[in-house]
Each structure stands twice: as C-alpha cells, then as structure tokens.
Amino acid sequence: MTTRSTRSSRRLAVPLLPRLALLLLWLLASVSVLVPSAAFAADASDTAASAIDTRAASYLDQLLAEINARRERAGTPPVIFADAAANQAVSQYLSDLTPLMVAMHSCFHGQGNPVAPSWDYVSGSGFGGQARGAVPACPGDNAYWTAPKIADGWWNSPSHWRSLYGDPRVNAIACGTFGPQNGGRAYQTIACTTYHI
C-alpha cells in the first residue's frame, strides 16, 4: 500500500514540475516588469534634475539681464557670470542655508553658523576672483522672487544697491537659486556674490 501511494504521488508531481517552473518564470518576469531597473530610475532622476537645472539656468540668465539693466541705469559697467560651477556653488550654499533661515524665521548670510559664507563655496568650486560682496533674497513662499522683483528689491535697498549696482569694480557675479516656485519663474531664495576679476 505504501508503494502504491508513493507511485501515485510521483505521477502527480511529475506533471506539476513544468507548471511550477513556468509559474516561477512568469513571476520573475512580472517582478522585473513591475520594478524599474536601477539604471531606469537613475535616468528618470537625471532627467528631472536636468529639467530643474535648465529652469534655474534660464532664470539666472533673466536675472543677469535685469541686474545689467539696472547697472546701466546706475552708470556702472555690465557684469558677467563667473562660471557655471560658481553659480552651482551658490545654489549649494542656498540649499545649506535656507533650511536654517526657515527654521529660525530669520534672514542672514552664512558666516560659519554652521554655513560658511557664499564666497567660500564659490572658491571651493575653483573660481578665483576678489569677492566684493553678497546679496541674498530671503526665504519666501508666495512665488514673489521672480527675476525682475528681486532685482528691484536689491535696487531699493541701499546696502544691496551699493554692493550689486553701485560698485564699478564689480565685473562678475556668481548667482544661485533654491526652491523653485511657479514652474521655475520664481524661487524661495536667491543669492549673488559679486567679484572683481
């Protein structure tokens, strides 16, 4: 009786093996379809980062045009961007500084508290030049900091005006953004560091 029972279970198991193998292959194939590969996920995040970088670059180009229009009104020569790495360094500065400003409900420059000054970030990017000053636009959440509005805000502040528009020795700037708003037409914080090169 034991042998007959063993033979019967063997007969049932043999036809099930190919079915189980097919089921296992189907499950494995389904998992690879449902879970994106690491390479695909990296490509997707690279695409998103590229779109953000493109929006920030477009915003900064507009900001540079606004700054130069006001420098012309002030009778000072136009400025150029230091370089892309210097702009990225100011953006990194803002990504480190903005959460502290928001948490403290305050506006301040990095002075080693624990964020270093913006010119230290720029110097770390390899850009060389004499730092002349820095102008920030403090955190805002109402999509206010468009390029024309921040340029006007700096124009109407005597200390920012002297640093950004009134100094004829300034001939280069490094600017960065943090916290895109309104589809990249405004940012939560913006800063520019002025240079003589």
Task: Report the CATH number at residue 181.
Answer: 3.40.33.10
Instruction: Give residue 104's pLDDT band: very low, low, confident or very high (50, 70, 90).
Output: confident
In a shared domain, residues 14 and 77? no
In a domain, residue 45? The reply is: no
In a shared domain, residues 55 and 30? no
Give the whole-angstrom CA distance, residue 62 versus residue 65: 5
Higher pLDDT, 14 or 144: 144
> Which domain does 70 fall in, by range?
50-196
pLDDT one-digit tens code per residue, 114-173: 888 888 999 999 998 899 999 988 886 665 788 999 999 999 999 999 999 999 999 999
In a shared domain, residues 150 and 66? yes
In a domain, residue 80? The reply is: yes
Give the whole-angstrom CA distance, residue 19 versus residue 23: 6
In a domain, residue 41? The reply is: no
Instruction: Give residue 23's pLDDT band: very low, low, confident or very high (50, 70, 90).
Output: very low
Give the whole-angstrom CA distance, residue 112 versus residue 117: 7
In a shared domain, residues 25 and 57? no
In a shared domain, residues 108 and 142? yes
Q: What is the pLDDT of residue 151?
A: 94
Q: What is the pLDDT of residue 50?
A: 47
Phi, psi of 180 (to 5 degrees): -60, 140
In a domain, residue 85? The reply is: yes
| Number of structural domains found in the chain | 2
Q: Are 145 and 53 in contact (CB under 8 A)?
A: no
In a shared domain, residues 91 and 29? no
Q: Which of 69, 65, 73, 83 is nearest to 172 (CA)?
A: 83
